[in-house]
Amino acid sequence: MRKKSNTIIEIIAVGSELLTPYYQDTNSLYITSRLNDLGLKVSFKTIVGDDHVSLLSCFKLALKRADMVFIIGGLGPTSDDMTREVFAEASGKELEFRTDLLDHIKSRFKKRGLIMTSSNKKQAFVIKGSEVIENRVGTAPGLWIEDLGTTAFLLPGPPVELKTMFESGVMPRMEKYRNGFSFRKVLKITGITESGIENLVSDLYPKSPEIELSVLAYPGQIEIHITSHSLSSPEKAEKMINPLIKSLKGRLKEHIFSENNEELEEVIGRLLLKNKLTLSTAESCTGGLLGHRITNTPGSSRYFLQGVQAYSNKAKRELLDIHEDVIKKHGAVSAEVAGLMAEGIRKKSRSDFGLAITGIAGPGGGTREKPVGLVFTALSWNNRKNVEKNQFLGMRDSVKSQAAQKAMDMLRRYILFNKIKPIKR
Amino acid sequence: MRKKSNTIIEIIAVGSELLTPYYQDTNSLYITSRLNDLGLKVSFKTIVGDDHVSLLSCFKLALKRADMVFIIGGLGPTSDDMTREVFAEASGKELEFRTDLLDHIKSRFKKRGLIMTSSNKKQAFVIKGSEVIENRVGTAPGLWIEDLGTTAFLLPGPPVELKTMFESGVMPRMEKYRNGFSFRKVLKITGITESGIENLVSDLYPKSPEIELSVLAYPGQIEIHITSHSLSSPEKAEKMINPLIKSLKGRLKEHIFSENNEELEEVIGRLLLKNKLTLSTAESCTGGLLGHRITNTPGSSRYFLQGVQAYSNKAKRELLDIHEDVIKKHGAVSAEVAGLMAEGIRKKSRSDFGLAITGIAGPGGGTREKPVGLVFTALSWNNRKNVEKNQFLGMRDSVKSQAAQKAMDMLRRYILFNKIKPIKR
């Protein structure tokens, strides 16, 4: 085997469905993340169907080119499932029948009041010389083969079975292959564009191979993922990353809304709870997305009182007391209406904050003065209000996402900077 | 080259970012779908980083084992991008400089008011004997190499560039490799479980290799994807599928909500518009998701009047006129409250339909009598109402999704079966 730092790892995802337009191999992302935690990297990913010839050639190749191979899927009871058999062939090993495994499979069926079908019997065959990895949530045992030059893991394809087995049975066995320690930090950012971030911080991007940095962009959200590796200890890995994090935070300041992998709705939930504040929402073009996001956080009923989706002008009048004249004069998509929506919902619900969105999500409905993507977001608090005009790019769903994100961010920044005290009730 | 029906196709996605936990290769799903349209299947997918040795071995292998290879990515201007150079090496070909390509790249920069950097010059090198495929939305030209025994396409990685080039430059060139014609149909289903569907129709699943059927399950939605292949004509492919579709429809009946790839919100939007009916919503545990889904359809303002997210009991009283006593007696999560929410929003908004949801999305808040996942969905129309009790499985987001889906499906079934006429206004 090569030096640990140069370990060549291949992941092979097995299954004909993975060669259709419908299914994506997501298991390998999870495995990659866990291997990265051990200071290991993936060099190849291969996706291959349930076909004897193809499987055989892929397995043979992996045994030749990789130091370690993770083969996922094809361990089930049906005739399609042939990973075990073909891997035995590729590695020149024999299969042996294990009565203890058959008993284990039988007892799983029994517990559920089912009778084992004869096809499950094949799951009790293992590759000679392999170590069995217990499957706590399914019938297919995993296998660990160490005496081939290439270390091989044969693991089940269903994500729940894979993850459970990986955590309980694979990670402990991987300890001896560990190439140091990794520490990962994610800075979640909103209210600034990707190029805005580049301008502010790109000179800080790490040059050493021990620290890696990736920038991921989503509608209304940018994430900086930083991973450091230390050969000696997790503490050193963490320490190594700290100066960079400090510099990034010094430059990006309040644009960072979380360094603990929280969603924006969790952050505002935490801020509201801490300050004993309540919130209500009034939405037009987002149609409920803002409320949906806010209530994705468990326990949000402690601060989210109510919302209205005032889609029609009539609804804006009736639910939010917005005068017909204002809508006529400025239009439903206007700073004036956005501000009145936020104020209206705050007063009607007697919440501390009112948050509102009105805009043109598209694809239709745009004009030269008010193009698609024009969205007003508004925050009302204690007889004051703040309205922002945004011009978002993208399709309807992206405009809606960015609008909800922006509204939540207005609230976050307001609470952060205004040292708000709860209103006496 | 083998018989067309046995053509071995490999897709190679190039890019070190695809070997991190953050990025998924999605291009190959699109390419697979388009190749399937030509009656061709993918045998291998390989994902490899921007590394000379790894790339070289993958390209050599593909030239050996595949009849056709699609190599995606690594055609950019930076030093990381080496697909062109390494493929030349793997195939024993030389690179040649094309002044016409350089002019094209220069003119793209000029049009945008930018100056071409010297690194872009490498994009004007092509593999000798290859045909250039124009890139209409980027600088990296695609390449088509036919004289290697293996037909190779080198294509850019950014999805917009890839798709544009594939449609305009690759599909026409693929015509001669066509292996017959495909016809695809998707039946979208709701209101029945996956095993319920299996029980109803699994005996109909096609046995002939000319028709393929896949069942995909999502929260509250199941899709049956059926593809047929004919060697002679698209009409024959369509005809081949029709008896199966007819049988499936005969068994699954109204559980099928679309055979035209519509979302459920589009279907109810169409039904409401056709019957000149309007809708308003009242949500508790879904917090706005139902309204969000409904307003994902462009033009939904023609039938969606308003919604309320009556998260607190106070909001249920104030926004929906639900008497305190009812909530006290039955609880906020009850058939009674759900029915009154639907009726309340219908009356308040003077819409034809009121649709309501109240439930326990979890993870907290469940009791033995009212466990997590218990959701009441209600429809109110013309002084009548219909309430359903559901017990959904899964996490908070899945419970919310299933609840919104179920509420929309109640409306769909009601309009379908009750031959509703618009109320006189």
What is the mean pLDDT of the segment spanning A209-222?
90
pLDDT recorded at residue A268: 98
Query: B308 and A296 in contact by Cβ < 8 A?
Result: no
Query: B309 and A306 in contact by Cβ < 8 A?
Result: yes
Q: What is the DSSP letter of A4?
A: G
Residues in chain B predicted with pLDDT less than 70, given as ranges, are 1-3, 419-425
State pTM to two decimals: 0.89
Neighbours of B303 (CB within 10 A): 24
Search chain B and give the residue with CA nearest A296.
B397
Residues B30/B35/B39/B45 CA torsion (nearest 10 deg): -90
pLDDT in tens, A119-132: 888 889 999 999 99
B171 dihedral zone (left: phi>0; alpha: psi -120 to 50; beta): alpha
- Rg of chain B over Cα atoms, rounded to whole angstroms, equals 28
Confidence of residue A118 (pLDDT cuts 50, 70, 90): confident
Please, what is the average pLDDT of chain B? 93
Nearest to A311 among B295, B298, B348 (CB): B295
Search chain A and give the residue with CA nearest B52.
A43
pLDDT recorded at residue A3: 66
pLDDT recorded at residue B159: 93
Q: Does B154 touch chain A (CB under 8 A)?
A: no
pLDDT recorded at residue A76: 87
Nearest to A309 among B45, B307, B312 (CB): B307
Instruction: Report all structural domains of chain A as residue ranges with CATH numbers, in order of start.
Output: 4-177 (3.40.980.10), 181-258 (3.30.70.2860), 264-417 (3.90.950.20)
Please list the alpha-helical segments (H only) found in A261-310: 264-274, 289-294
| Position A421 pLDDT exceeds 70 | no
Contacts of A286 in chain B (CB under 8 A): 292, 295
Search chain B and give the residue with CA nearest A401.
B292
Neighbours of B82 (CB within 10 A): 21
Neighbours of B371 (CB within 10 A): 12
**Which residue, among A175, A181, A221, A185, has the nearest Cα to A206 in the 3D structure?**
A185
Query: B32 and A21 in contact by Cβ < 8 A?
Result: yes
Least confident of A60-64, A190-194, A282-286, B267-271: A190-194
pLDDT recorded at residue B422: 57
Preferred mutation among A31, A47, A261 to probe B, highest tally of B CBs within 10 A? A47
Nearest to A292 among B58, B61, B287 (CB): B287
pLDDT in tens, B12-59: 999 999 999 989 999 999 999 999 999 999 999 999 999 999 999 999
Query: A291 and B283 in contact by Cβ < 8 A?
Result: yes
Please, what is the average pLDDT of chain A? 93
What is the mean pLDDT of the segment spanning A345-358?
97
Query: B45 and A315 in contact by Cβ < 8 A?
Result: no
Interface of B with A in 177-206 (CB under 8 A): none
**Which residue, among B63, B72, B60, has the nearest Cα to B18 in the 3D structure?**
B72
pLDDT recorded at residue A80: 85
Nearest to A44 among B48, B349, B397 (CB): B48
Q: Does B294 touch chain A (CB under 8 A)?
A: yes
Q: Does A308 touch chain B (CB under 8 A)?
A: yes
* DSSP characters over B66-77: -SEEEEES--SS
Q: HEC states along chain A?
A: CCCHHHCCEEEEEECHHHHCCCCCCCHHHHHHHHHHHCCCCCCEEEEECCCHHHHHHHHHHHHHHCCEEEEECCCCCCCCCCHHHHHHHHHCCCEEECHHHHHHHHHHHHHCCCCCCHHHHHHHEEECCCEEECCCCCCCCEEEECCCCCEEEEECCCHHHHHHHHHHHHHHHHHHHCCCEEEEEEEEECCCCHHHHHHHHHHHCCCCCCEEEEEEEECCEEEEEEEEEECCCHHHHHHHHHHHHHHHHHHHHHHEEECCCCCHHHHHHHHHHHCCCCEEEEECCCCCHHHHHHCCCCCHHHCEEEEEECCCHHHHHHHHCCCHHHHHHHCCCCHHHHHHHHHHHHHHHCCCEEEEEEECCCCCCCCCCCCCCEEEEEEEECCEEEEEEEECCCCHHHHHHHHHHHHHHHHHHHHHHCCCCCCCC
Interface of B with A in 216-255 (CB under 8 A): 216, 225
Nearest to A308 among B61, B300, B307 (CB): B307
pLDDT recorded at residue A96: 94
| Position A117 pLDDT exceeds 90 | no
Contacts of A65 in chain B (CB under 8 A): 57
- Rounded to whole angstroms, the Cα distance separating A292 from B283 reads 10
| Position A383 pLDDT exceeds 90 | no
Query: A305 and B315 in contact by Cβ < 8 A?
Result: yes
CB contact at 8 A, A24 and B29: yes
Shortest Cα distance from B182 to chain A (angstroms)? 14
A-B CB pairs within 8 A amount to 212
Mode of pairing for the β-strands spanning A279-283 and A353-359: parallel
Q: Does A60 touch chain B (CB under 8 A)?
A: no
Confidence of residue A113 (pLDDT cuts 50, 70, 90): confident
| Position A317 pLDDT exceeds 60 | yes
pLDDT recorded at residue B208: 84
Query: B306 and A309 in contact by Cβ < 8 A?
Result: yes
Confidence of residue A77 (pLDDT cuts 50, 70, 90): confident
Q: Does A138 touch chain B (CB under 8 A)?
A: no
What is the mean pLDDT of the segment spanning A190-211?
90
Q: What is the DSSP letter of A423?
A: P
- Rounded to whole angstroms, the Cα distance separating B18 from B106 reads 30
